[in-house]
Amino acid sequence: MQKTFIMVKPDGVQRNLIGHVIQRFERKGFQMIAGKLMVVSDELAKEHYKEHEGKSFFGDLMGFITSGPVFAMVWEGTNVIDGARHIIGATNPLEATPGTIRGDFGIVTHRNLVHGSDSEESSKREIGLFFAPEQLVTYQKAVNEWLD
Ligand SMILES: Nc1ncnc2c1ncn2[C@@H]1O[C@H](COP(=O)(O)OP(=O)(O)OP(=O)(O)O)[C@@H](O)[C@H]1O
């Protein structure tokens, strides 16, 4: 089953949106298999966002993502990587469709509330950065047979 890494960023935690984000994914039919509240270290932030190293906003991004607790999760489901990106919405909340998390709650790109992996490769990499394999709890729900 496909897996993705989802993180409620520090602004989402401060704005009491952890429960809302979880509910959006649960309602869709995806299944959480790991979740934890944590503060991202400088080293982890740098590794997670290494594709952006050297860009003008990199310093601000590092400062922001380490500024307070995040809620890191792994979700599982059919096409969950793209499905989650649709629920989260476009990177710039101004361009995010209403009904998406960023479209409903975000205003600016540097505070866009939630992160979701953008490919199979990045989901594997990001899950490995934030969780040990034994922290992923795979289990069957009876409802799964009604989902796909
Ligand atoms: N021009 C920018 N100015 C400020 N911050 C930016 C800018 N572009 C991207 N960022 C920040 O870097 C993050 C990573 O950018 P990326 O292009 O990977 O978008 P994304 O995949 O939608 O976001 P994320 O990786 O957080 O899910 C963005 O979510 C945003 O917080």
Q: In the chain, what are the domain boundaries?
A: 3-146
pTM of the model: 0.96
| Ramachandran angles phi, psi of 40, nearest 5° | -75, 125
d(CA 107, CA 37) in angstroms, rounded, equals 24
- Does the annotation list 91 as a binding residue? yes
Residues assigned a catalytic role: 115
Question: What is the H or E stretch that residue 80 is in?
Answer: helix 80-88
Whether 116 lines ligand 1, by a CB cut-off of 6 Å, is yes
Tell me how far CA of residue 141 lies from CA of 12, 27, 138, in angstroms.
Answer: 28, 14, 10
Question: What is the H or E stretch that residue 136 is in?
Answer: none
- Does the annotation list 57 as a binding residue? yes
Query: What fold does the segment set 3-146 form as a domain?
Result: Alpha-Beta Plaits (3.30.70)
Whether 92 lines ligand 1, by a CB cut-off of 6 Å, is no
Whether 47 lines ligand 1, by a CB cut-off of 6 Å, is no
What is the 8-class DSSP label of residue 55? Answer: S
pLDDT at 148 over 90: no
Tokens encoding 73:
């999760």
pLDDT digits (tens, 9 = 90+) for 30-81: 999 999 999 999 999 999 999 999 999 999 999 999 999 999 999 999 999 9
Is there a contact between 122 and 53 (Cβ–Cβ < 8 Å)?
no
